[in-house]
Amino acid sequence: MSKAEKERTEHAESTGGAKTDASVDPDALLKVEGLDAGYGDLQILSDVNLHVADGEYVTIVGPNGAGKSTVMKSVFGLTTHMGGTVTFDGKEIQGNLPEEIIHEGIGYVPQNENVFETLSVRENLEMGAYILDSVPEDQIQAVYDRFPILEERSEQKAGTMSGGQRQMLAMGRALMLDPDLLLLDEPSAGLAPDLVAEMFDRIDRINDDGTAVLMVEQNAKVALGRCDRGYVVVQGENRYVDSGEALLNNEQVRQDFLGG
């Protein structure tokens, strides 16, 4: 056993067996390797590794201020790139602008200000296809089929909708280009407790239909219980990575990050 392997084994034993080696699958759809990023001169992330396979459902959890959303924003070109690579479908995209990244097949739903409040539901969906020469009516209908409430309220101004409806609209708009990877930043934030399970059910169905999902979520127990794999990010660095079930069942992870 090499010195590095011995150190990883000792670390895993000291953390209750949780995996800490965030190696990156070379064949993954999304690969984040050695990422350093932040905002302006402020570095938030340090040597972050992460990957999402085609059709996989991956969740990033961790304490407030840990850098979870910064990882996602870095994938979508919304941070200052300071080092490392972000590769999507074999093409390096670090440093690209969001409008360029959309063309590659990545959709993004931010936590806040994720709908155009003065526009109608349909107009919001049309905005999701702004890079196309014409609005694909079949894709609008596909979104309506997935979220029937949006068809019922197609002429309603987005700013007058409930939090759950706005979240569905934001996801629907991001799905207008039928992305291969959907980025979701805190999709349950601000939702009433009885709507949280429904929102996660809808995300499950999006993933079941073949769209890979990378999600940042504060509701860690629920999110890890549904995803394929999870990453725990602490102070801008990888701390643990494992299947969602394994992280939920790990005593050290539960005590430190899941409230016991």
Contact assessment for residue 30 and residue 212, using Cβ atoms and an 8 Å cutoff:
yes
Q: How far does the chain reach from its first CA to its final CA, in angstroms?
A: 34
pLDDT digits (tens, 9 = 90+) for 202-252: 999 999 999 999 999 989 999 999 999 999 999 999 999 999 999 999 998
The answer to pTM > 0.95 is: no
At residue 213, φ and ψ (nearest 5 deg) are -130, 130
Q: Give all strands of the β-sheet with 106-109 in edge-to-edge order.
A: 106-109, 181-185, 212-216, 57-61, 229-234, 237-243
Query: Which is more confidently placed, 219 or 256?
Result: 219
CA dist 12 to 19, 50, 68, 179, 232, Å? Answer: 6, 18, 22, 36, 14
For residue 82, the model assigns a pLDDT of: 97
Domains of the chain as residue ranges with CATH: 3-253 (3.40.50.300)
DSSP 54: T
Contact assessment for residue 170 and residue 189, using Cβ atoms and an 8 Å cutoff:
no
